[in-house]
Amino acid sequence: MKSSIVLLIFLLTSCGYHLGRSQNAENISVSVPYISDDFSGIFTNEIIKQVSNSSSLSYNYSNADYFLDIKIIENSTRQIGYKYDRNNQNARQKNLRSTEGRQQVTALVELIEKRTNVTKFGPYKIKASSEFDYVDQDSLNDLSFVNPIGQRGTVLSFSLGQLESIESAKEATLKPLYEKLAKKIVDAISTYW
C-alpha cells in the first residue's frame, strides 16, 4: 500500500503535474473601489467576498498593489417563458402570458497596478445571467383557483412565499446573479495570474 502511494506521487510529479492553478507563487493584494451603477452595494460586496476567498488574491482596503476597476455596462431583463391563459372552466385561451424571465449583467473588468496606473488584466467583458419565475399581480388566474366544489380560493396561502411579482422576482435574483458574476471575475483573474 505504501509503495503504491509513493509510486503515484512519483508519477504525478515526474510528468509535470502540479497542484493549484498558477505557476506564479505571488499572492497579490487587491482593493475594490465602489462599483458604479451598483446602487444596492450587493455586487461590490460580492466581489470583495470572492477576492477574500481566493487563494491567489488577497483583499486590502487601501494599501493594495492593484485595484479592480469594474463597470456594469449592461443590465437587461427579457421574458423567456410563457403560458396560455385559462378561463374559469380551466380551458386554454388564445392569449399567452409571460411567466419566466432572465436577467443578464455584463461587467467591464480591469485590474490596474496602483503605482504605475498600468492595466495588468483586461479590459474584458464578463457576463452572468439568472432565471426567475413570477406571476402577474393583475391576473385573477395567477392569484386564485377554483376548487373542486366551484368556489374561488387564493393561491397565496399555499404559495409559501414563492409567488412574486416581476419586480420582486428581479430583486430576489440579484444577489445570486451578482455572486455568480463576482465568482467568474475572480476566477478569470486568478487563472490569468
Instruction: Tell me the β-bridge partners of 126.
Output: 107
Residue 18 placed within a domain? no
pLDDT at 72 over 50: yes
The overall average pLDDT reported for the chain is 81
Instruction: Tell me the β-bridge partners of 84.
Output: 96
Q: What is the pLDDT of residue 15?
A: 46
DSSP code at position 159: S
Asked whether the bond before 176 is cis by omega within 30 degrees of 0, the reply is no
Residue 12 placed within a domain? no
CATH code of the domain covering residue 169? 3.30.160.150
Instruction: Give the three-state DSSP class for 71.
Output: strand
- CA–CA gap between residue 32 and residue 61 (Å, rounded): 7
- Which amino acid, one-letter code, is at 127? K
74 compared with 122, residue with greater pLDDT = 74
pLDDT at 146 over 60: yes
Residue 177 placed within a domain? yes
Residue 18: all three cell numbers together: 502540479
Q: What is the pLDDT of residue 193?
A: 72
Residue 105 placed within a domain? yes
Q: What is the pLDDT of residue 31?
A: 95
Q: How far, in whole angstroms, is CA 117 from its chain's centroid?
A: 29
- Give every CB contact of residue 31 below 8 A, 6+ residues apart in sequence: 59, 60, 61, 62, 63, 64, 66, 67, 68, 114
Mean per-residue pLDDT, 112-126: 94
Instruction: Tell me the β-bridge partners of 67.
Output: 31, 112
Q: Structurally, how many domains does the chain consist of?
A: 1
Q: What is the pLDDT of residue 2?
A: 59
- Give every CB contact of residue 43 below 8 A, 6+ residues apart in sequence: 35, 70, 72, 105, 178, 181, 182
- CA–CA gap between residue 142 and residue 134 (Å, rounded): 10
Q: What's the pLDDT tens digit per position in 14-59?
A: 444 444 444 445 688 999 999 988 988 999 999 999 999 998 899 9
DSSP code at position 160: T
Instruction: Give the three-state DSSP class for 9.
Output: helix
Mean per-residue pLDDT, 124-148: 76
Q: What's this model's pTM, rounded to 2 decimal places?
A: 0.73
Q: What is the pLDDT of residue 192?
A: 82
Residue 5 placed within a domain? no
What percent of the chain stands above pLDDT 90? 44
Residue 9 placed within a domain? no
Range of the domain at 187: 24-192
Residue 188 placed within a domain? yes
Residue 164 placed within a domain? yes
